[in-house]
Structure 1
């Protein structure tokens, strides 16, 4: 399996849930697809089409936060100029499973393995200033403190004027803090948030916040846009 660079800042305190590995048999059974939420083609194409509609150009550089097994990556690699797609995820093995099994040889030529890295604290520093970033179904699985960290760190690697798109499960202002919706909770995975929660944590990065809302996600995740403002 391809070796993916790893940046582990938390050491042994890393959440063991994100250390999942895949055997050859499991990859052949596409369990790396199921692990990142399934609906492989549908959500992969949705991400690509959404960002293109927001102005993503082939010459732009894109950071995929929570790239997983490259559900969106397989489409972005084809659309963007060679070398312009970058991805980070907490799990090196799931990235490698996607890189080895989902990409063609031609796509791997367009995506150097150095453009991918595992990070336990949203380290997106590749020595590149990005035009755009996306975190699809990341904020749905992490705490508000992790979202704050993510926004702060992505703001450091995006160009002024660059945009960061992120999805989340939203609940309306009148929804009780201790309420839950099926498997979505305020204090555990999968997480829901008020819109004002994300507006608040965006203050810890250099962001202008805009709520987009519905964008066609099959599970009802809503979208926000964060525009990187000047220093």
Structure 2
């Protein structure tokens, strides 16, 4: 959670003075942002290009893990949380933004065969996900890995998934992309099912840094979900985990 506006030039100058080693990496992100914004016709095209660039260097870093140990730890954190909240092998799970299966490898291993469905906008990261499957020996669990251009879920069946999950997806999404998800997630959720997502929470002014990082107030996302007949619950117990993002659970209203 933050109260600071990280897009504010004064904040960025002060941050650069305190963290001189991060100036060059940010300058590279800024240059890439300017190029991709010119080339991309929409946010999905833009962020697909970001993921292509990041995955070419490291698939684990592309999903936000600074080391392999951190990749393992973040996946375990997500898995443990859902198991503690009642995830069962018989659940049918949709993971939105499955990446290279940082947590997905654990969900796939735990769930009954065929019960995991992962989607991502990045074909490059899904190829890395296939490599994770092979490395972990999970081929017999028959997971579904599908590229997508939007969050309308038009190719998925009604009332099918008992659990939906999106980790570090809405932290990179403008509000219209989140709204598209809310407008359609209720159709694919089974009665009694839920949708957990993380987001970068601010208690100050909502803002974005480049086109990659978006900061929202909890009430903004809860009210947006209500517009589509969904109920949003802030998950206080997630705040105790060693992770910088917050979590909301969406259920049928």
Task: Please state whether the residue corresponding to 1:225 is helix, strand or coil.
Answer: strand
What is the rounded CA distance, in whole Å, between the counterparts of 2:177 and 2:93 in structure 1?
21
Cα distance, 1:219 vs. partner? 3.7
Match of 2:199 in 1: 168
Structure number with bigger Rg: 2
Match of 1:227 in 2: 251
Structure 2 stretches lacking a partner, 5+ long: 1-39
RMSD across aligned positions (CA): 2.6
Superposed counterparts of 1:36-55, under 5 Å: 36-38=63-65, 39-55=70-86
TM-score (norm 1): 0.79
> In the alignment, which of 119, 136, 146 is matched to residue 148 of structure 2?
119
Match of 2:231 in 1: 208
Cα distance, 1:186 vs. partner? 7.3
Superposed counterparts of 1:134-213, under 5 Å: 134-172=165-203, 175-177=204-206, 185=208, 188-213=211-236
TM-score (norm 2): 0.73
What is the rounded CA distance, in whole Å, between the counterparts of 2:85 and 2:237 in structure 1?
14
Task: Please state whether the residue corresponding to 2:202 is helix, strand or coil.
Answer: coil
> In the alignment, which of 34, 41, 45 is matched to residue 61 of structure 2?
34
What is the rounded CA distance, in whole Å, between the counterparts of 2:194 and 2:224 in structure 1?
16
What is the rounded CA distance, in whole Å, between the counterparts of 2:86 and 2:206 in structure 1?
36
